Chains A and B, each alone.
Chain A
């Protein structure tokens, strides 16, 4: 069980990093657009978004490689305006790792400590400590060109951690690793962050990576933050259609609000014969308003037999595609309207008698609280 850690919901907590109305322009292009954001101490914070959304620019402003066109960034009590990168208590792990090719692993790790003018024995101790942390003791004298991708990634991490920065920035830290290694390293990064009690800010375009590691995720689009929340909230209560579609898979059904009935919204949609019933009490909607209903594929149930009368949220269609993934089976169901639904089912048992087959007529249902209403 990981900690109950939520300083962002504590109004008395003081953020470590504050972006206040920060804008960054490159010529006419706006990379970051009037953005405000708080990041707290010891937080594992992810900036998630498609490429070109401004997440890298935001990180480079923290490191000091870009200066905001407007607005202020504060770290602790220090306004970072005009502070050059080499005077910031912030270190960064670069996407390309940026290891110095003419220095051995230990020299790479020692580089930052040398800049601080630490005595030699202290540098050696710290380098040894870092090598142990990333399990590279045996490769201390190797050069970066003699290392594998995963080993380089570790050296880059050790070098960035060596100075015990208040804040560590990681730019697509796992982007260059293959899938298996990426998963292992995700958990390692979390352990290291937890062990050292540092604040991590990670930039990634990989939603799975963000979901696994982050305490909170900021989803960015076009230089703005669309939602800042925990991975669970982002997935289960996305604020906009963009987030619902960017993070994970989702089925979107379009319709119009009919009204509120026993605390549940009734939504008329061409995709279903009967109006849908949705349990999303936080939304404030008007009758007749156009909305999108978002339902995750794993929250839909697919069956061959007609559901009992009175069942809510029934859609009918024909099996268009079946994809067997081992742990999951994905069904693509074509509705009468031509829309294609994605429904997944966990393969809980090894053998299924008379499984649902291609071209079969099926019923797809979902519970009222499985869906989210997104205002259009």
Chain B
């Protein structure tokens, strides 16, 4: 399979990528614009990055976003891994199909509906909207992604490894921590990174569940843009894009490597 790239292939590739990434590229370029006018190029400058770091409100929002992303991704990873274990390990329990469907539901549910229903729920239980409600909402959203990633690893897991550990004297819990967990760790990390980036850039669900005390970066940027474009926002967005890109690339690499390893071990 060593096909040369034809002119047609190159053109469609360029067009496709341009369609996807040109707007983003433009945004990144304009974040280095010296001019205050967002749409007019006035030379290269990093002044807006400096301004961004001095902007108390934006930095505050960024810090909240980071904390929410870390916390919700951690909770989602634990819950998502447990769900994946239950779905792959406990063969046929009543309601298994229903449970599988329900775990995956947030993936396909329109975000507006997820956000709205969570808002109604938090209002019903009288929970003040703010940091914690966004964290919980993001956990709900991202858990299923962790489950999918971890489950696909567990499907190819050789159960005789666990049997061997037990046979050699390790009780079930120790078997899990010494054999199962280290081997599925890459997929758990990949799931965590996915959950982290999803939480970082979520606007819809966060804006439904945000309160006066806590505003995330996407909400802040969105509200600022409504008041008028500012080059600082471009700079903030460029950084956000950078973090998300790194997260997704890392997640992909890690799960690819672990897939390679599990195919080796299966041999």
Partner-B contacts on A (CB < 8 A): 63-65, 84-87, 90-92, 94-96, 98-102, 111-112, 115-116, 144-145, 159, 163
Contact partner of B166 among A84, A101, A102, A144, CB < 8 A?
A84
CA gap between A99 and B168 in the complex, in Å: 12
CA gap between A92 and B163 in the complex, in Å: 9
CA gap between A84 and B164 in the complex, in Å: 13
In the complex, the answer to whether A65 meets B170 with C-beta atoms within 8 Å is: no
Q: How many residue pairs between the two chains, A and B, have CB atoms under 8 Å in the bound complex?
A: 65
CA gap between A144 and B265 in the complex, in Å: 8
Q: Does B257 contact A (CB under 8 A)?
A: no
CA gap between A102 and B178 in the complex, in Å: 10
In the complex, the answer to whether B163 meets A98 with C-beta atoms within 8 Å is: yes
Contact residues, B212-267 vs A (CB, 8 A): 261, 264-265
- Which chain A positions have C-beta within 8 A of B163? 63, 65, 85, 92, 94, 98
Minimum CB–CB distance from A144 to chain B (whole Å) comes to 8
In the complex, the answer to whether A145 meets B164 with C-beta atoms within 8 Å is: no
Minimum CB–CB distance from B254 to chain A (whole Å) comes to 15
- Which chain A positions have C-beta within 8 A of B126? none
Contact residues, B162-182 vs A (CB, 8 A): 163-171, 174, 178-179, 182
In the complex, the answer to whether A100 meets B161 with C-beta atoms within 8 Å is: yes
**Given A101-B264, A112-B169; 7 other pairs, CB 8 A cutoff:** A63-B163, A86-B171, A92-B164, A99-B164, A100-B164, A101-B161, A159-B164
Q: Mark B148-170, 1 if CB is under 8 A from A, else 0.
A: 00000000001011011111111
- Which chain B positions have C-beta within 8 A of A65? 163
Q: Which residue of B lies closest to A89 (CB)?
A: B169
Minimum CB–CB distance from B160 to chain A (whole Å) comes to 4
Contact partner of A112 among B160, B168, B264, CB < 8 A?
B168
Q: Mark B66-95, 1 if CB is under 8 A from A, else 0.
A: 000000000000000000000000000000
Q: Does B183 contact A (CB under 8 A)?
A: yes
**How many residues on B have C-beta within 8 angstroms of the other chain's C-beta atoms?**
20
25 A-B contacts, Cβ less than 8 Å apart? A63-B163, A85-B163, A86-B168, A86-B169, A87-B169, A92-B163, A92-B164, A94-B163, A95-B160, A96-B160, A98-B158, A100-B164, A100-B165, A101-B183, A101-B261, A101-B264, A111-B168, A112-B169, A115-B170, A145-B261, A145-B264, A145-B265, A159-B164, A163-B168, A163-B169
- B-side interface mostly: helix
CA gap between A286 and B78 in the complex, in Å: 74
CA gap between A278 and B179 in the complex, in Å: 60
Minimum CB–CB distance from B189 to chain A (whole Å) comes to 14
CA gap between A96 and B182 in the complex, in Å: 20
CA gap between A95 and B164 in the complex, in Å: 11
A115 and B167 in contact, given A100-B161, A145-B265 (Cβ under 8 angstroms): no
Q: Which residue of A lies closest to B264 (CB)?
A: A145
Minimum CB–CB distance from A82 to chain B (whole Å) comes to 15
Q: Which residue of B lies closest to A169 (CB)?
A: B167
Q: Which residue of B lies closest to A95 (CB)?
A: B160
- Which chain A positions have C-beta within 8 A of B160? 94-96, 98
- Which chain B positions have C-beta within 8 A of A90? 167
In the complex, the answer to whether A94 meets B168 with C-beta atoms within 8 Å is: no
- Which chain B positions have C-beta within 8 A of A64? 166-167
CA gap between A65 and B166 in the complex, in Å: 9
- Which chain A positions have C-beta within 8 A of B179? 100
Contact partner of B168 among A96, A115, A144, CB < 8 A?
A115
Minimum CB–CB distance from B173 to chain A (whole Å) comes to 11
CA gap between A205 and B158 in the complex, in Å: 23
Minimum CB–CB distance from B91 to chain A (whole Å) comes to 12
- Which chain A positions have C-beta within 8 A of B166? 64, 84-86
A116 and B169 in contact, given A101-B261, A101-B265, A102-B183 (Cβ under 8 angstroms): yes
Minimum CB–CB distance from B195 to chain A (whole Å) comes to 24
Among B161, B167, B171, the one with the most A-chain Cβ atoms within 10 Å of its Cβ is: B167
Minimum CB–CB distance from A324 to chain B (whole Å) comes to 37
In the complex, the answer to whether A85 meets B167 with C-beta atoms within 8 Å is: yes
Minimum CB–CB distance from A130 to chain B (whole Å) comes to 13
CA gap between A319 and B105 in the complex, in Å: 72
CA gap between A145 and B264 in the complex, in Å: 7
- Which chain A positions have C-beta within 8 A of B178? 111
A115 and B174 in contact, given A63-B167, A163-B168 (Cβ under 8 angstroms): yes
Minimum CB–CB distance from A132 to chain B (whole Å) comes to 20
Contact partner of A91 among B158, B167, B174, B261, CB < 8 A?
B167
- Which chain B positions have C-beta within 8 A of A63? 163, 167
In the complex, the answer to whether A96 meets B169 with C-beta atoms within 8 Å is: no
Contact partner of A86 among B167, B182, B183, B265, CB < 8 A?
B167
In the complex, the answer to whether A96 meets B158 with C-beta atoms within 8 Å is: yes
- Which chain B positions have C-beta within 8 A of A95? 160
Minimum CB–CB distance from B171 to chain A (whole Å) comes to 5
Minimum CB–CB distance from B165 to chain A (whole Å) comes to 7
CA gap between A96 and B261 in the complex, in Å: 16
